[in-house]
């Protein structure tokens, strides 16, 4: 009789992809707490979490994009555009909650239409498409705002960064909600399963009956939605919508995702590791600032971290995992599966699907997928 591993054992095994960044985070946090007394104060930790809120939210959407073996360089531009749109809607007399809702829909539409359809339906390069979107949207932002910052005079929006819930600021609460939603999508839905399948092998995903174009459109729409939420959070913190596009934001988001164990080749990773990657970048930046290290050196360190993450991924040192039914919830984000990114597709059985999945879908996926010679087509 086979005994089931304990919850602690399963969580420890599931943490393997992001164990390096977890160890680094603990070490850096301990060193800073010991050498910089101001670092470990409750007020500074609150400021730290609030400061990384935008990066955290954007990185959740970026995680799903990278799992499909893509990347979204337009997130910062989408966030800036949503901020300008929000300011104009509020300035025109629209109530705050309705302006926020319209802005969120606009972000998802820009992500899904401008990026997802071109990449998923027309098989264009994600790098070219998202780079072109970034440039185009940046131009639209400057034209619509005339390169001027616009005030957002809405108490409901500005209170997002001021009001607290259970002792946590609004941006931190939004971070937690976005993480929970992303984790649910990743582990408990058809959509999450399809995202991993598409990233593992486009050919195998198509032969398994997965609607690959639709999945890619939804992934980039979710990334655009996260960018829009990040843009609204940024506006609520400073009370104005700035036309300045932070072109370092996509780089930092990709760095956080890679540090969290998501593979550049796609098909592996999880938002739990991404959360640790964001916290590591935030702790490092905050600690260096308290220690008086110039911001230029902080950029150097962030760039080096990204290069190390890419090299480690190429060498197989950072490797994510696909979710599996019965895996424990928590920061792991994805439970362990002893498999590499798919090169030769294997049959999908009921054990590979969530318990809530109907029998009809299992039967549709059960036939063995023929051997394929290429991961991508």
Compute φ and ψ for 264, nearest 5 degrees: -65, -30
What is the rounded radius of gyration, in angstroms, for the C-alpha atoms of the chain?
21
- The first and second tokens of residue 168, run together, are 């946590």
DSSP state of 282: H
Q: Which domain holds residue 141?
A: 7-365
* CATH number of the domain residue 283 falls in: 1.10.3470
Pairing type for strands 168-169 and 150-151 reads unpaired
Spell out the residues 6+ positions from residue 31 whose beta carbon is closer than 8 angstroms to its own: none
Compute φ and ψ for 171, nearest 5 degrees: -60, -35
Question: Which of the residues in the chain have pLDDT under 50?
Answer: 1, 317-377
What pairs with residue 113 in β-bridges? none
Tell me, yes or no, whether 372 lies in a domain: no
Tell me, yes or no, whether 373 lies in a domain: no
Q: Taking a C-beta distance cutoff of 8 angstroms, is the pair 253, 265 a contact?
A: no
State the pLDDT at residue 15.
67
Tell me how far apart the alpha carbons of residues 211 and 296 are, in angstroms, rounded to a whole number: 45
Q: Taking a C-beta distance cutoff of 8 angstroms, is the pair 22, 35 a contact?
A: no
- DSSP for 207-251 reads HTT--HHHHHHHHHHHHHHHHHHHHHHHHHHHSEE-----THHHH
CB atoms within 10 A of CB 149: 16
Tell me, yes or no, whether 201 lies in a domain: yes
Tell me, yes or no, whether 62 lies in a domain: yes
> Helix-strand-coil percent breakdown of the chain, rounded to 5?
65, 0, 30
How many structural domains is the chain composed of? 1
Tell me, yes or no, whether 371 lies in a domain: no
Give a three-class secondary structure readout of 59-99: HHHHHHHHHCCCCCCCHHHHHHHHHHHHHHHHHCCCCHHHH
State the pLDDT at residue 339.
38
Q: Taking a C-beta distance cutoff of 8 angstroms, is the pair 224, 111 a contact?
A: yes
Tell me, yes or no, whether 355 lies in a domain: yes
pTM beyond 0.85: no
What pairs with residue 151 in β-bridges? 240
User: Of 325, 322, 330, which Cα lies nearest the Cα of 352?
Assistant: 325
Tell me how far apart the alpha carbons of residues 205 and 154 are, in angstroms, rounded to a whole number: 46
Longest dimension (CA), the chain: 71
Place of tokens 């390169």: 147
3-state DSSP assignment of residue 169: strand
Compute φ and ψ for 169, nearest 5 degrees: -70, 165
Alpha helices in the chain (DSSP H): 7-14, 19-35, 42-51, 53-67, 75-91, 96-109, 118-120, 126-145, 155-158, 170-188, 190-200, 202-207, 212-238, 248-259, 271-290, 295-314, 359-365
- The first and second tokens of residue 107, run together, are 């972000």
Tell me, yes or no, whether 103 lies in a domain: yes
The rounded Cα 170 to chain-centroid distance in angstroms is: 19
Tell me, yes or no, whether 90 lies in a domain: yes
């Amino acid at each position: 009789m086979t005994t089931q591993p304990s919850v602690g054992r399963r969580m420890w095994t599931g943490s393997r992809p992001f164990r390096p960044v977890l160890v680094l985070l603990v070490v850096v946090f301990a060193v800073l707490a010991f050498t910089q007394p101001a670092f470990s104060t409750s007020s500074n930790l609150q400021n730290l979490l609030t400061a990384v809120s935008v990066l955290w939210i954007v990185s959740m959407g970026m995680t799903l994009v990278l799992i499909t073996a893509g990347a979204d360089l337009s997130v910062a531009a989408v966030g800036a555009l949503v901020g300008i749109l929000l300011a104009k809607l509020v300035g025109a007399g629209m109530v705050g909650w309705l302006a926020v809702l319209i802005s969120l829909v606009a972000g998802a539409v820009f992500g899904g239409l401008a990026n997802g359809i071109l990449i998923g339906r027309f098989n264009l390069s994600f790098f070219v498409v998202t780079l072109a979107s970034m440039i185009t949207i940046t131009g639209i932002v400057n034209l619509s705002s005339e390169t001027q910052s616009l005030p957002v005079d809405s108490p409901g929006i500005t209170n997002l960064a001021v009001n607290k819930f259970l002792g946590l600021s609004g941006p931190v609460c939004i971070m937690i909600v976005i993480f929970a939603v992303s984790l649910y999508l990743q582990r408990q839905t058809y959509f999450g399963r399809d995202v991993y399948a598409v990233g593992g092998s486009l050919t195998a995903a198509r032969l398994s009956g997965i609607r690959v174009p639709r999945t890619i459109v939804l992934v980039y729409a979710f990334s655009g939605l996260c960018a829009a939420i990040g843009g609204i959070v940024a506006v609520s913190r400073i009370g104005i919508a700035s036309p300045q596009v932070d072109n370092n934001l996509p780089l930092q988001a990709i760095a956080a995702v890679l540090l969290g164990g998501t593979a550049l080749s796609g098909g592996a990773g999880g938002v739990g590791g991404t959360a640790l990657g964001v916290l590591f970048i935030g702790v490092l930046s905050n600690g260096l600032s308290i220690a008086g290290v110039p911001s230029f050196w902080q950029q150097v360190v962030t760039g080096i971290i990204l290069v190390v993450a890419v090299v480690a991924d190429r060498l197989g040192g950072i490797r994510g995992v696909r979710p599996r039914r019965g895996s424990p919830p928590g920061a792991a984000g994805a439970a362990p599966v002893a498999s590499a990114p798919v090169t030769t597709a294997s049959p999908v059985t009921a054990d590979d699907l969530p318990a809530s999945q109907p029998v009809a879908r299992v039967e549709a996926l059960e036939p063995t997928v023929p051997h394929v010679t290429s991961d991508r087509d």
